[in-house]
Amino acid sequence: MNVPRRSILRGAGALAAGAALGPLLRIKKALGGTETKAQRVVIVGVAGGLRLRESLGMAEGATMPSLFGDVPLISGYGSEAAGAPRIAPEYVPAAPSVLPAPRAVPLYAEGALITNLRYAEGAPGHLQGAACLASGFYNNLDNRADAKLPVPTLFELFRRSTGAPATDAWYLSVLSGFFRALQASGHPDFGAPYGASWMAPQSLMSPIVPIVTTGTRSLKLTTGVKLPIIVDTPEDAAAARRLSAIVDGGYPAWGDDGFFRASPGENASIEEHLAAIYGDPTYAAYYPPDLGIGLLGSDGSLQGTGDSITTYHATQVLARWKPRVTMLSLFDVDAAHTDYNAYLLNQSIADACVAHLWDFIQSTPGLKDETALLVLPEHGRQLQGNGKMTDSYGRSGLDHGGGDDGDRDVFLLALGPDFKKGVYAPTGIQQSGRTSGRYETIDAVATAAHLLGVGELFTSTLEAEGARPGLVIQDILA
């Protein structure tokens, strides 16, 4: 049942480009001559759309207790404990949720929470919202994998400014498809040579890979059974790379055709990472059973969700490469389109995932007290239900994309050494072309760029393209 893994890893290298470890680059961050403490930034987009009514208002119970506790944090929803999520009595989930106990101290109390952030412009859609988080540019990109932003992403700004390798910039998403468009922009001065390493763990990190590639037709899942794995020793991998170098040496190098490609050394680093996963005979490396976040399988085992699997593999990327800029797109809450109760339950999954990610960061040397974590929805959801799967409480599915206040009012949770603790709802924010009077999604990205030391470049490139750049959120900086 063991086969060489080289062909699989070459395909994986195309999906997730990496680089050999290099020295941690510590570039000076400048805004008025100040220096920031964070050496890396992680942005988590709660994708699929999340409304303030449920998250901070807790109108249907405390769905995100590890992030926000159990008392509403915005006006209009009372001041008493909200209690557990209000799930319709007739609702039967596909599988029961498995969740850790909520944190004793919710994360918002350890960082800065802006309760009135505004996704002010652009379509409230998946690719458009995620593209804004990656670039700070409001947009109406087509939902296509070959779509290209006209402005550079944070990945490109940072890598071009510092000469950082591909494993210093990562994008991990539950979905692949058109989200691959965010790996690099179409900007002529940036683009593919400075793009991000990419991984969609839910599809790539699966036991199906060794099962299928070994040609296994059936499995006897009994105690002590030897499960299919893909064996690729370091010696085999090195030999394959030497042979590839000989063969490739007879052909011209790839031109700049707009496709992201990693160097041989960068791909070798990723291959080594994947080798440990595909070669694990227990399959625990795909998703460890003791993580404690997911769904309860019919056999009593822990089954990962898209969000929990992606979050786990993000921790492994952070542990191995300690990248300077990382972005995650979670997606479980998008069940809201047809299933309001699943929307509530999946908020609790996202809540546990973000708490796990932060606890991992704060318990890992080289990440602890050096990492800024920004958590915000890519956009909200519409105020009115769509009538699908109406439950006994009169609640139905929720769409996004109409552009009402439910779609555009979101939050920002900022954790890390550069942020002042507190709950904020700033108004009167002024900028030419800004009609909201509030901090906006693009400002969260501008703040990330500031922490990465590329704030001036971020602003100038957007202005050169005629776009309104975000403002650094000074209210929350220590």
Q: Work out whether the CA dihedral 340, 344, 347, 352 comes out positive or negative.
A: negative
Element (H, E) at 298: none
Contact 82, 62 (CB under 8 A): yes
pLDDT value at residue 299: 87
pLDDT for 223 = 65
pLDDT band, residue 25 (cuts 50/70/90): very low
Q: What share of the chain is helix, strand, coil (3-state, %, to 5)?
A: 35, 15, 50
Which tens digits make up the pLDDT trace of 200-219? 998 888 888 888 888 887 87
Domains of the chain: 1-28+212-249+258-286 (no CATH), 31-205+292-476 (3.40.720.10)
For the chain, give the mean pLDDT: 90
Is pLDDT at 39 greater than 80 in this prediction?
A: yes
Taking the alpha carbons of 329, 335, 336, 338 in that order, is the dihedral positive or negative? positive
Beta-bridge partners for 410 = 117
What tens digit of pLDDT does each residue of 405-434 get?
999 999 999 999 999 999 999 999 999 999
98: closest CA among 309, 402, 304? 304
From 18-32, 142-156, 250-264, the region with the lowest mean pLDDT? 18-32
**Which residue matches tokens 């063969």?**
247
Q: Look at residue 19 and tell me whether its pLDDT is greater than 60.
A: no
For the stretch 50-87, pLDDT in tens is 999 999 999 999 999 999 999 999 999 999 999 999 99
Q: Match 């940072």 to its residue by tokens.
A: 158
pLDDT value for 252: 78
246 by DSSP, 3-state: which? helix
Sheet holding 97-98, edge to edge: 97-98, 294-296, 302-303
Tell me the C-alpha distance between 325 and 342, whole Å: 31
pLDDT bucket at 14, cuts 50 / 70 / 90: very low
Residues recorded for the chain: 478
pLDDT digits (tens, 9 = 90+) for 251-287: 777 777 777 888 888 888 998 999 999 999 888 999 9
Of the candidates 412, 408, 410, which has an alpha carbon nearest to the alpha carbon of residue 448?
A: 412
Q: What is the pLDDT of residues 166-201, one digit of tens each?
A: 999 999 999 888 898 999 999 999 999 999 999 999
**Contact predicate 396/387, CB 8 Å:** yes
pLDDT, position 251: 79
User: Is residue 5's pLDDT more than 70?
Assistant: no
Query: Does the predicted TM-score (pTM) go above 0.75?
Result: yes
For the chain, percent of residues with pLDDT exceeding 90: 74
